Structure 1
Amino acid sequence: MSPVQPVGVLFMAHGAAEDPADLAAFYAHIRHGRPPVPAVLEELRRRYAAIGGRSPLPALTQRLGERVAAALEARSPGGYRLAVGFLHTPPFIAQAAESLAGLPLVVGLALAPHYNRFAYEEGYRPAAEAALAGTGSRLHLIPGWGGDPGYVRWLADALRPLWAAAPSGSRVYFSAHSLPARYLAAGDPYPQQLAEGAAAVAAAAGLPAGSWDICYQSRGRTGEPWAGPDVLEILEQEAGRGTPQVILCPHGFVADHLEVLYDLDIEAHGRARALGLELVRTPMPNDDPAFAGALADLVAATAAV
């Protein structure tokens, strides 16, 4: 009898430039080989400089992957083999998938909690499927997990003390990366996934009805309409209403990176200060052991189906 083969775990993330010298290549890869416009590249360099010159995302993702792998090993010794890959920076998803090729089942976990066709069907799935084609491996890509009980619990635990300390009349906004409006017009399930995930966290954190909503952030520079309302517009709106404090919970992201450290912690906080509005945000899960345990549970449950 041949030995039982482990379940492959393809642990995927968008990627980010770890060194300022890598910025041009990183954004050219995002743009399918087209180099970024010089003015845009200079603005990106300025933003990266403002957060310390590099993104912590790749290292955080690697450490999180190691902790998920350890949690799976503790659950089932030898039962899983995990590899980390990125869409736009090395090690690429293809490299990670190739290291799992031949395993009967490969569970794909993208660190984008809420499913949208742009990220999943134009990014993660084709990259993984192309690398596994003809190898005998079956890919099971988890189709969004923003409502996963472990993830909801982690976010609610992070949000609850901020809400308890907030002045009366404060508001909570759950934020996620915007998408081109054409995807939403075509019926993309992203807004529904965001709303359902936010509702689950709000209920678990004990937020009163009417005290929270969702918004978008980090619109692309493509010249086309993007989904809103944008977080900066929300801050203007709440300042006009006399809201004493806004709590941001960026539930569409799982790690500190440019969209959090610059778009929220610098740009949004700067706008809030100018408006006389207090702004706080929940911490990111990053490589927290409890979050890693929740992802391990999700992978194991998926593999068992």
Structure 2
Amino acid sequence: MAHTKIGVLVMSYGTPESMDRIEDYYTHIRHGNKPSPEQLQELTDRYEAIVGGVFPLRENTDKQVAALEETLNRGRGEGDVQFVCYQGLKHASPFIEDGVERMVKDGIREAVGVVLAPHYSVMSVGAYNQRAQTKADELGLKISFVKSYHDHPKLIEALTRRVEHSLQQFERQGEARDQVRVLFSAHSLPEKIVEMGDPYPEQLLETSRLIADRVGLPQWQFTWQSAGRTATPWLGPDVLDTMSALAKEGTKNILVAPIGFVSDHLEVLYDLDIEAQAMAKELGIKFARTESLNTDPLYMETLADVVRQQWEGNE
């Protein structure tokens, strides 16, 4: 017999809880090695450049977790399973392991894990799932995981609406949509994932193609952003390099659709809204990006669908 409460571990990268926790956060990302004063200052400056600092970033994820729980339990009748969502972050509290512990303490015996990232990579979603599985095994929790949902129809519909809306804004400004180059983007990962046969790049291209076909895009391409600074090469080209190349070709209008990100975080609010926008100004290009999904009902329904499917498959 199924338990009446099913835990849902909602995992994401995480952000510091406050400005004074940035060093702890950065140290965790660096596997316990403190950043240099220069590195710490650079990251702090990025957060300070965003209106409200770190707080809206943290709040975005909190709202997504709450909205998912509400969506999962909407229309729940007496005797129906109740889904209870718990947050688990990779680099900030509550950590992934904390979320698993809280479920067990609350008497949860069965759970589903889902990452707030539609595209699977062994280095991203796979690593989140492994951490949760290890802790669940230690505590005797039965848990299974949603691997990816990059082609879910409701996700594609939500992203398509955003691209269409942004293109209409260009048209209202007198720009023909066939003169707008659409760039789909996602967080870069080390190039070695290609040699590993990782599905991440192809899943991103599939999402891009599905949206482009729905919108009827005459011109689009894929680009990467927010690469880490390590000795090993990361997937490219970077969005800034792509913009520079397009400007040399005579492109005057660019729309970035950051399909690898599901909410307003640093990679969107700083890397695109500030850094890429500044480059566009230098290049004399009209630049825009699509709105983030955040708590869009279609995105929440996407997550609810895949969580239910995963749980029902286990049953």
Alpha-carbon distance between aligned partners in 1 of 2:249 and 2:2, rounded to the nearest angstrom: 65
Alpha-carbon distance between aligned partners in 1 of 2:300 and 2:12, rounded to the nearest angstrom: 15
Q: Determine whether 1:119 maps to 2:118.
A: no
Q: Which moved more, 1:5-14 or 1:271-280?
A: 5-14
8 Å Cα contact 1:178-1:227 kept in structure 2: yes
Pair 262,80 (structure 1): closer, same or farther in 2 beyond 3 Å = same
Question: Unaligned regions of 5+ residues in structure 2, if any?
Answer: none
8 Å Cα contact 2:189-2:235 kept in structure 1: yes
Q: Deviations over 1:6-30 (max 9, x none)?
A: 2221111100123221111001111
Q: Which residue of 1 aligns with 2:259?
A: 251
Identity %: 37
Alpha-carbon distance between aligned partners in 2 of 1:60 and 1:114, rounded to the nearest angstrom: 20
SS at match of 2:274: helix
Q: Deviations over 1:3-61 (max 9, x none)?
A: 73322211111001232211110011111111112211111111111113225222111
Q: Which moved more, 1:233-242 or 1:295-304?
A: 295-304
Q: Determine whether 1:297 maps to 2:301.
A: no
8 Å Cα contact 1:5-1:103 kept in structure 2: no
Q: Which residue of 1 aligns with 2:145?
A: 141
TM-score by length of 1: 0.93
Instruction: Summarize the alignment of residues 249-288 of structure 1 with structure 2, pairs less than 5 Å apart.
Output: 249-288=257-296
Q: Determine whether 1:229 maps to 2:237.
A: yes
Q: CA deviation at 1:219?
A: 1.0
Alpha-carbon distance between aligned partners in 2 of 1:285 and 1:109, rounded to the nearest angstrom: 16
Q: Determine whether 1:99 maps to 2:99.
A: no
SS at match of 1:171: strand
Q: CA deviation at 1:99?
A: 2.5
Pair 134,241 (structure 1): closer, same or farther in 2 beyond 3 Å = same
Q: Determine whether 1:4 maps to 2:3.
A: yes
Instruction: Summarize the alignment of residues 198-213 of structure 1 with structure 2, pairs less than 5 Å apart.
Output: 198-208=208-218, 211-213=219-221
8 Å Cα contact 2:117-2:260 kept in structure 1: yes
Instruction: Summarize the alignment of residues 24-173 of structure 1 with structure 2, pairs less than 5 Å apart.
Output: 24-52=23-51, 53-77=53-77, 78-101=81-104, 103-122=108-127, 124-164=128-168, 165=171, 166-167=175-176, 168-173=178-183
Pair 151,3 (structure 1): closer, same or farther in 2 beyond 3 Å = closer
Question: Unaligned regions of 5+ residues in structure 1, if any?
Answer: none
8 Å Cα contact 1:10-1:96 kept in structure 2: yes
